[in-house]
Structure 1
Amino acid sequence: MKRRALLAAPALLALPARAQGSFPDRPVTFVVGFLPGGSVDTGARLLADRMAPRIAPNARIIIENRPGAGGSLGAEYVARQNPDGHVLGVHSASSHATNPAALPDTVRYDPINDFSHIAILGGGPMVIVVPGSSPHRNVAELVAAAKAARAPMLWGSSGSGGIGHLTGSLFAHRFGFQGEFVPYRGGSAVLEAMRKAEIDFSAEVMASALPHLRDGSSRPLAVTGPTRHPQLPEVPTLVEAGLPGFDIITWNVIQGPRGMPDATQQRLNRAAMEAMAEPELRRRLTLAGIDPADPSTPASTRDFVAAELAKFQAIVRETGLRLGRG
């Protein structure tokens, strides 16, 4: 009896190892560090529908919104999870470049080394917008009013240290005026403030801004990329408006916690790339204001995030950014 039990022991010990190695054995969660309706949330939901069946025939991807601190609360949560592939973050330039650059003492994760990098989803320029009721019809008028105002103009974006914060700060710094920054929990909240004319302008992610630009509750003055954007062909760039070399885009990447098995990381990358190759998904992302990324690998995703972090660290040094002031 004892001999039979001993012979059986190795097989019994092997069972948990096989179970732990099964992926996926439950729904995969995309953690989004912003409110529903913003650009990161929109991109995550569009990708989830097409990526899930490419992970496994019956796989499901659910979205979990954990908004706050420009996406950093969601990113910190992801960094602490089991790296088995079941919890992934759809992260942004705010959570992985601008927040760590502007708030290095408060971001409680390393944006490069605390994550397993999977794929680049896409991105696009920011948009300098004013309320639909604003008298300012172009950047020159806004800047002139800001310089002439007795009190600093109020402007807002998603979270202190987020990409909207750094973009707006660089915009004000290079044009030489002061603005008082008002942080919001997400792009949808910023645009609601714009609808009510509670702030004078914003540097907002295009995907979040487009519905409000289309219904006239906000008005675009400029885009922050190097060229005009197909979704807003009549809107000039900030280069055209008088800021040579101004080039800021936002972006989303898929990451998991550090230590993810290479096979799982590659499987997720392959599923994402197959989904991103679909013309219909690319069309829907484009209509939502998200420019689909070129094919990426885990290694190229890591390199991309590292380069963007360095770029925004340089912007923080140039602007001397102080939180709460633009």
Structure 2
Amino acid sequence: MHRRTLLAAPALLSLPAQAQTGYPDRPINVVVGFLAGGSTDLAARLLIDRMAPHLAPQARLIIDNRAGAGGSIGAEYVTRQAPDGYTLAVQSASSQGTNPATLPDTVRYDPVEDFTHIAILGGGPMLIIVPGSSPHRSVADLVAAAKASATPPLWASSGTGGIGHLTGSLFTHRAGFRGEYVPYRGGSAVLEAMRKAEVDFSAEVLASAYPHVRDGTSRPLAVTSLVRHPLLPDVPTLQELGFNGFEVVTWNLVQGPKGIPAPIVARLNRAAMESLAEPTLRRRLAEAGVDPAEPSTPESTRAFAASELAKFRSIVRETGLVLGRG
């Protein structure tokens, strides 16, 4: 690591000047660690569509889906790229929070120290959902059936160690039953499994699940925020249902490899903030289930990432999560 940094140093010296003149003079690769169609992919595509013209007239931002391991494959890939502003990432709470908290011996990057922090994009709650064909109409129905069954219910999320895995584990822990966990490679794969009723329930990001809720292939039983969500005003919070203090929300950050020069970071942050200030983008994000973030700086983005990581580590301590089990 140190040798690579030293070898790259001469090239890096010219980057601040480049940031103020020709940057970007080629396409910018925006890594998303999930399959196309999931919540992080959706948020990334909505953002880059508006961010490019704010960055520069010639700017082109291209999504690069590198799915797997709850976003960690994409995140690790980003750490190996040159810190020149031509590789960015729209990261998730899974890759930058829950995976490092639940898989400390497997995740090969530090989610705070190994990245350049640029901006907070937005976020939203998780949903406890069942297939549209499920007989369960409430969390109470689901919990009662789980406790009465001789076999644990099957439940899914979009990757071992991801935010859905941690949310579902916290839910089963506090509800007092054991489920059998089934990991998938992304939110779209989970929701296809829900459509086919291959699993009994899932903890899924609202932005991914909402289209399936609208078409009836999934049924929401609860949201994991402390207040109800405007898209689903009739769906109660777990807090309301007696799960005191249950709050897990997902989020997306714009980051890059560690060491992107400050002038480039400032331009990227400004472009992201100008994009997120647009009423049209904010409306499109909200309609998709992504609550757009308030203005953020690179410094506040880093502080947010660190605080969320600490929170997820506290949930892991509470649940005693053993990966591969519900």
2:103 counterpart letter in structure 1: L
User: Separation in 2 of the partners of 1:79 and 1:90?
Assistant: 13
User: Separation in 1 of the partners of 2:213 and 2:44?
Assistant: 22
Q: 2:117, 2:256 within 8 Å by CA — same for their partners in 1?
A: yes
1:242 Cα deviation after fit: 1.3
User: Separation in 1 of the partners of 2:219 and 2:16?
Assistant: 54
- Residue 26 of structure 1 corresponds to 26
Q: 2:93, 2:251 within 8 Å by CA — same for their partners in 1?
A: yes
User: Separation in 1 of the partners of 2:308 and 2:93?
Assistant: 8
Q: 2:16, 2:261 within 8 Å by CA — same for their partners in 1?
A: no
Listed as ranges, the matches of 1:77-226 within 5 Å are: 77-226=77-226
3-state SS of paired residue (1:321): coil
- Residue 53 of structure 1 corresponds to 53
The one-character-per-residue Cα deviations of 1:107-160 (angstroms, maximum 9, x if unpaired) are 010000000000000000000000011000000010000111101110000100
1:18 Cα deviation after fit: 7.8
1:19 Cα deviation after fit: 11
- Residue 302 of structure 1 corresponds to 302
3-state SS of paired residue (2:36): coil
User: Separation in 1 of the partners of 2:312 and 2:73?
Assistant: 19
Change (3 A) 1:249 1:187: same
Question: What is the number of residues matched between the two proteins?
Answer: 313
User: Separation in 1 of the partners of 2:254 and 2:299?
Assistant: 12
- Residue 262 of structure 1 corresponds to 262
1:185 counterpart letter in structure 2: R
1:20 Cα deviation after fit: 8.2
- Residue 75 of structure 2 corresponds to 75
1:17 Cα deviation after fit: 4.4
The one-character-per-residue Cα deviations of 1:155-192 (angstroms, maximum 9, x if unpaired) are 00010000000000000000110001000000000000
1:231 counterpart letter in structure 2: L
User: Separation in 2 of the partners of 1:133 and 1:214?
Assistant: 14
User: Separation in 2 of the partners of 1:258 and 1:18?
Assistant: 14
Q: What RMSD over aligned residues (CA atoms) do the two structures have, in Å? A: 1.5
Listed as ranges, the matches of 1:35-54 within 5 Å are: 35-54=35-54
Structure 1 spans left out of the alignment, 5+ residues: 1-12
Listed as ranges, the matches of 1:258-297 within 5 Å are: 258-297=258-297
Q: 2:16, 2:263 within 8 Å by CA — same for their partners in 1?
A: no
User: Separation in 2 of the partners of 1:19 and 1:288?
Assistant: 37
User: Separation in 2 of the partners of 1:295 and 1:18?
Assistant: 26
Runs of 4+ in 1 over 2 A off after TM superposition: 16-22
User: Separation in 2 of the partners of 1:246 and 1:118?
Assistant: 29
1:29 Cα deviation after fit: 1.2
Q: TM-score, normalised by structure 2?
A: 0.94
1:25 Cα deviation after fit: 1.6
2:112 counterpart letter in structure 1: I
Q: 2:24, 2:58 within 8 Å by CA — same for their partners in 1?
A: no
Change (3 A) 1:111 1:141: same
The answer on 1:314 being equivalent to 2:314 is yes
3-state SS of paired residue (1:172): helix
User: Separation in 2 of the partners of 1:95 and 1:125?
Assistant: 17
Identity of aligned residues (%): 71
1:125 counterpart letter in structure 2: P
Structure 2 spans left out of the alignment, 5+ residues: 1-9
Rg (Cα) greater in structure: 1
The answer on 1:62 being equivalent to 2:58 is no
The one-character-per-residue Cα deviations of 1:200-234 (angstroms, maximum 9, x if unpaired) are 00000001001110000110000000000000000
3-state SS of paired residue (1:49): helix
- Residue 3 of structure 1 corresponds to none
User: Separation in 2 of the partners of 1:312 and 1:243?
Assistant: 17
Change (3 A) 1:36 1:139: same
User: Separation in 1 of the partners of 2:215 and 2:167?
Assistant: 24
1:54 Cα deviation after fit: 1.1
Change (3 A) 1:301 1:17: closer
1:55 Cα deviation after fit: 1.0
2:262 counterpart letter in structure 1: D
- Residue 4 of structure 1 corresponds to none
- Residue 8 of structure 1 corresponds to none
The one-character-per-residue Cα deviations of 1:279-308 (angstroms, maximum 9, x if unpaired) are 000000000000000000000000000000
User: Separation in 2 of the partners of 1:23 and 1:73?
Assistant: 27
